[in-house]
Structure 1
Amino acid sequence: MTLHVDAAGDRLVVTISGELDLESDPLLQQTLSKALDRAVGGLELDLAGVDFCDCSTLNVLLDVRDRARLSDKQVTLRATSRAVQRLLTLTNTLALFAGNRTAPDGHPAPSQAVAGRTAPPAEPTRERAAPDAPTAHARRPHSTERTDRSHDGLAMENAQLHRAMQTRAPIDLARGMLMASFHLTPEQAWQVLVTTSQHSNTKLNRIADALVQTADGHTPLPEPFANHLATAVRVHNSAA
């Protein structure tokens, strides 16, 4: 893993490349925490060069994001690789790192590039309102309405964080079981879980839960999962 920290207005851009796992997490946590303390507005993460990212690293990113929120700062993604985007998408946490960035002059910054793609520009605002449309003053929501919406948004984020925390542990355990049982690398074990999830049309955390339950030596893996898992192990193990 390599890390570079650069200034961008009131924020710091942290560019990370290489493999992110349990071994690299302490250095990543230390670097991001120090950068967050120094940054006035928060951090922007450039993860386009990350080849591998596991759930333990997601835990680090969520912890740093939580610290940033307590300080009225943001931790957002400037760019990300397929490996990172896949992890954030499967754990339903991608939206948590898509905060609104602003340029040093106070205007909105350009759209963020995610996984090498840039979001299309927003449609221009219409200058003329419809004949029956209310005035700008009438359309302005009441203060209590804005408060309710902000509470709804916070509740949604908390729910997403809770789901992510619940799914990380079983997924990490399942990957460890696959690595120990079939002599797989961390990336191969992750690919086995993803492939099994895709081919069985089942959420990855359910696959992980079922696999972890077999650790007692008495609970068999359900037949559909077992067949897809065996095929995925053969494919990704031979690919090495």
Structure 2
Amino acid sequence: MSSAQSSPRPADRSLRIRQRPEGGGIVVSLGGDLDLENITPLGPALSDAAASVSGPVVVDLSGVGFADSSTVNVFLQAYGAIGPRLRFAALSPFVERLFGLIGLQSALPVHETVAEALAAPLPAPDGDRAP
């Protein structure tokens, strides 16, 4: 058949970012491909989402078809800035494979579903620890 049919990635690779309040937090749904060419708006979108609520910020990755190392960098930087309120959920098969290959689940809070990520308790602040 034609080589156009065997193209591994669709022509519309644009990053789609949608935010919605849910369960006392905010869900940031990502779609499309996340790579060096289009990742620039993601960091500010996550920062804006975190500033808009005091609850969890859940990144829904179910609509992501491709992600590269620049995406991982943005996620790690955002987690460093936002902290444990930032959670990742509903990993697409590609993102699940990427996270698994580099062991990102050990560095970032990953949940199977958005509902699970929203419901997960926040860790107690350091100041609340018993002496």
CA deviations on 1:166-208 (whole Å, 9 max, x unpaired) are xxxxxxxxxxxxxxxxxxxxxxxxxxxxxxxxxxxxxxxxxxx
Q: CA deviation at 1:102?
A: 5.2
Counterparts of 1:100-111 in structure 2, within 5 Å, are 101=117, 103=119
Alignment length (residue pairs): 104
Which runs of no fewer than 5 residues in structure 1 stay unpaired?
Answer: 110-142, 145-240
RMSD of aligned alpha carbons: 2.1
Q: Distance in 1 between matches of 2:88 and 2:30?
A: 11
CA deviations on 1:131-184 (whole Å, 9 max, x unpaired) are xxxxxxxxxxxx67xxxxxxxxxxxxxxxxxxxxxxxxxxxxxxxxxxxxxxxx
Does 2:41 align with 1:27? yes
Go from structure 1 to structure 2 and tell me whether the alpha carbon gap of 1:38 and 1:19 turns closer, same or farther (over 3 Å shift): same
Match of 1:41, SS state, is coil
Match of 1:63, SS state, is helix
Matching residue of 2:102 = 91
Instruction: Please identify which structure carries the higher helix content.
Output: 1
* TM-score after normalising by structure 2: 0.70
Go from structure 1 to structure 2 and tell me whether the alpha carbon gap of 1:45 and 1:27 turns closer, same or farther (over 3 Å shift): same
**Overall identity of the aligned pairs, in %:** 31
Select which of 78, 81, 84 maps to 2:89. Answer: 78
Q: Distance in 2 between matches of 1:102 and 1:50?
A: 20
Match of 1:49, SS state, is strand
Which runs of no fewer than 5 residues in structure 2 stay unpaired?
Answer: 1-14, 122-129
Match of 2:36, SS state, is coil
Go from structure 1 to structure 2 and tell me whether the alpha carbon gap of 1:102 and 1:27 turns closer, same or farther (over 3 Å shift): closer
Instruction: Please identify which structure carries the higher strand content.
Output: 2
Query: Which of 1 and 2 has greater Rg?
Result: 1
